[in-house]
Structure 1
Amino acid sequence: MEWIDAATAAERLGVKPATLYAYVSRGLLTRRHGEDRRSLFEAGEIERLARRGRPRGQPPELVIESGVTALGLDRPYYRGRDALALARTAGFEAVAEWLWTADPGALPAPRGSGRAPAAGRGRSRDGALRGAAAWTCDRDALRAAIEAQRGLPADLLPLDRIQVIITVLGASDSLRHQLDPASVAATGRRLVAGLVDALPRAGDAPARPSGDEKPGGGGSVAGRLWARLCPRPATPALLSALEAALVLLADHELAASTLAARVAASARADPYAVVLTGLGVLGGPLHGGASYGAERLLDEVTEPGRATRVIADRIRRGERIPGFGHSVYKNGDARGELLLALVREAAPGHERLAATQAVLDEVRRRRLPERNVDFALAALTTVAGMVPGAGEAIFAVARIAGWLAHAMEEYERGSLLRLRASYTGPPPERATDDPATT
């Protein structure tokens, strides 16, 4: 059996590499990874598909060329770097800078590269970003975003607050229409900093300006976000798990929210509008909202013995089991495996981990799909004692990095993304002024 690389396979089919991977996602081609992690394709299968031509009965897929993220068998790669390795060694800010700028100095050197980290750059797992632009927000914009939440219900989920905050931050930013890469990266830093710092601290009354808000708040994004989502102080290990979650969720190729964000950017929407577009999609229960469903699932499993009944009741009602299965990673999501391992290491023997394991055991007993990163995220928020909906907020903050990286590509491309429908309705009526009718 002959195996060929992606470039050769695409050339034999007469398609772009992006179309080749679209065929993989549709199940038309299989691939494996070589020892160097390159995608390999079986030559005979490629030849058979070439003889058949493009599959009939299937509308052409929208294929967008992108240099941001590639999806492997069980994990994403950010500009060629393994997201799981980055989650162990780099902080969220550094990974965002890498996605936005592709500057090798932003990240630790890959294993075996022999390259030393750039002096003064990079980030320790529990420290602040060093040598990079500050992640701060203008004081007046921050106060306006806090003030805008004054009349909101105290029990509003964080994701709902985030949409209000970003709207106000965007309206307050006179630089938001500058769409060159450096300006968009600077906007991204201000946006994330303002978003996190405008959220009320967990356990506080609804946010209101206190007169002593500091622009940017100081400290890492993960540390500042923890204080907004959890009333308990963070242990170093749990904070490291949150940092890893932010890195693991920073991007995932053309997920639904990212496609929506790219369409907005192609119309030259400013970065705040791009992020709001992504948020409008992310909150759905089949996307970023799945972690909230998984949180509620774990809340129902008050002790391990309840797992069987809780899962059985959901199946009987015909409901999905949130946090399990993935449209891309059919054999398991390595992001979820790593994050769950970090949570276990951070809180060994925690009572909520026993309930989490009981759910995993019951799902496997029933041969249901494997857990994904949403379930692991729910385990983190549950073990840490975070507020309801914290997982969605973590997902949203993380994915801003990816949305803006994709937006930069669309700004540079400079043309509108225009999808076409495959019309299946009744034949259109002829216009009364159609010459064919007279």
Structure 2
Amino acid sequence: AGHGAVAAGALRWGEPVLDSAITAIRSDGPWYRGLSACRAAREGACFESIAEHLWEEHDAQPWGGGSALAVPRGLRPVDAIAMALVRLAVKEPDRHLPTREPTLRIARRLIPQLVSAVAHAQGGRERARRAAGAKSVAEALAIAFGVTPRRRVVRAIDATLVVSADHELNPSSFTARVSASAGADLYACLSAAIATLSGPRHGGVPERIATVLDQIGRPERAAAVVRERLGQGEAMPGFNHPLYPSGDPRFEVLLEQARAIGGRRRSLAVVEALVGAMDLAGGAAPNYDLGTTAIAAALGLGPHAATALFAIGRSAGWVAHVIEQRQAGFLLRPRARYVGV
């Protein structure tokens, strides 16, 4: 009975359930194979270099080379990514090769293709073509959302992707590992991961935050809304993280970048007013999800863009977890503790 309780607790932010050399969670944020993600983001690291670091690749490799993919206009970015994964999978002759090199070759082409699918859903064929020709994933994302890819904007998006790239056994990365352990190809593993990320308790959190921000409307209303919600015992999305009891360091990185690109936007002012009101009320500290919401607000975009930034950034970690799980060579098959009659 004691062993069963420990096993059950391990699946709820408890003790580690498997070994990994990808990411360590520390008080100052995630460390990717010995590299501080927050420091790398502040120092201007580009997303591609961090992805290669997670994949243990030390020589610069070309990214891109895939054709832009047409998806229906108006799709949510996360749905465009999901559709693109399915459509691209059936065209990939090497998708069933489980070895490292074909996997990385596909990943370097696939991630930019996912961004071009987002661009097509947001702005049509011409925007997708422009995104496919961008110099980097961060620049392509700016183009995808119709934002002028100024240097500061691209740097802010890169910083967002860098701190998003991995976070140990989060739900979507664990899902990717389970799929990989069953022998699924990379496209299938990432499809499973994006399906998990789409949930309102994972990558969909910014949509829940947006509901609160809409309720606030103006910065001066933040304190009243916070008192009302906390007084009614309602959860405040975008705050608290069990792994960072003193506050999520990724939020500070993202807020710095948001201020640098959109400091005068009213939508960002509402986000900051919410943070201040929660602090005055003795509430929990803001987390990563509020940080990506701040970045989207600074860019003049909505919560769907925040989820897209999360998904594209985390795709680097998904690939790393797929490779590591394949190398581990065992099937992930937890046991259930029977509590029925």
Q: TM-score, normalised by structure 2?
A: 0.90
- Residue 31 of structure 2: SS of its match in structure 1? strand
Q: How far is the alpha carbon of 1:191 from its aligned partner?
A: 1.3
Query: How far apart, CA to CA, are the structure 2 residues paired with 1:242 and 1:212?
Result: 18
| Structure 1 residue aligned with 2:272 | 357
Asked whether 1:93 is paired with 2:48, we answer yes
Of the three residues 11, 18, 22, the one matched with 1:64 is 18
Distance 2:23 2:29 in 1: 10
State the AA in 2 paired with 1:100. W
* Greater helix proportion: 2
The aligned residue for residue 227 of structure 1 is 143
Structure 2 contact 118–144 (Cα < 8 Å) conserved? yes
**Percent of aligned positions that are identical:** 34
Which amino acid in structure 2 is aligned with residue 135 of structure 1? G
- Structure 1 residues 85 and 303, CA, compared in 2 at 3 Å: closer, same or farther? same
Match of 1:177 in 2: 96
* Aligned residue runs from structure 1 range 157-196, under 5 A: 157-196=76-115
Q: For residues 17 and 283 of structure 2, what CA distance do their matches in structure 1 show?
A: 31
CA distance in 2, matches of 1:291, 1:228: 19
More RCO (CA 8 Å, sep 6+):
2
Query: What do residues 377-424 of structure 1 show as CA deviations (whole Å, max 9, x unaligned)?
Result: 101101211244101011000111001101001111222111100111
Whether contact under 8 Å (2:119, 2:131) holds in the other structure is no
Partner of residue 312, structure 2: 397
Which one of the candidate residues 127, 132, 144 is aligned to 2:61? 132
Match of 2:35 in 1: 81
- CA spacing shift, 1:167–1:212, aligned 2, 3 Å: closer
2:13 corresponds in structure 1 to: none
Per the alignment, do residues 262 and 172 of structure 1 end up closer, same or farther by CA in structure 2, a change over 3 Å counting?
A: same
Which residue identity lines up with residue 301 of structure 1 in the other structure? I
Shift of 1:192: 0.5
After TM superposition, give the deviation of residue 309 of structure 1 in Å.
3.2
> Match for 2:45: what amino acid?
A
Offset at residue 160 of structure 1 (A): 1.6
Taking structure 1 as reference, are residues 312 and 157 closer, same or farther at Cα in structure 2, changes over 3 Å only?
Answer: farther
Give 1:302 deviation, angstroms.
2.5
Matched residue of 1:330: which SS?
Answer: coil
Q: CA deviation at 1:283?
A: 1.7
Tell me which structure has the larger Cα radius of gyration.
1
After superposition, what is the alpha-carbon deviation per residue over 1:132-189, rounded to whole angstroms, capped at 9, x for unaligned? 223231x3xx3xx41xx33x6x2x3211221111111111111111121111111111
Supply the RMSD in Å over aligned alpha carbons. 2.4
Structure 1 residue 86: Cα displacement: 1.5
The number of equivalent residue pairs is 333
**Letter aligned with residue 296 of structure 2:** T
2:48 aligned counterpart, secondary structure: helix
Secondary structure of the residue aligned to 2:119 is coil
2:202 is equivalent to residue 248 of structure 1: no
Alpha-carbon distance between aligned partners in 2 of 1:83 and 1:409, rounded to the nearest angstrom: 19
- Superposed counterparts of 1:29-40, under 5 Å: none
Q: Per the alignment, do residues 218 and 233 of structure 1 end up closer, same or farther by CA in structure 2, a change over 3 Å counting? A: closer
Higher mean C-alpha deviation, range 360-369 or range 339-348: 339-348
Structure 2 distance, partners of 1:301, 1:234, is: 30
How is 1:335-346 mapped onto 2 (pairs within 5 angstroms)?
335-346=250-261
Distance 1:85 1:285 in 2: 29
Where 1:76 maps in the other structure, the secondary structure is: strand
Alpha-carbon shift at residue 300 of structure 1 (Å): 3.4
- Cα deviation for residue 202 of structure 1 reads 7.8
Deviations 1:258-284 (A, max 9, x none): 111100000111111111111111122
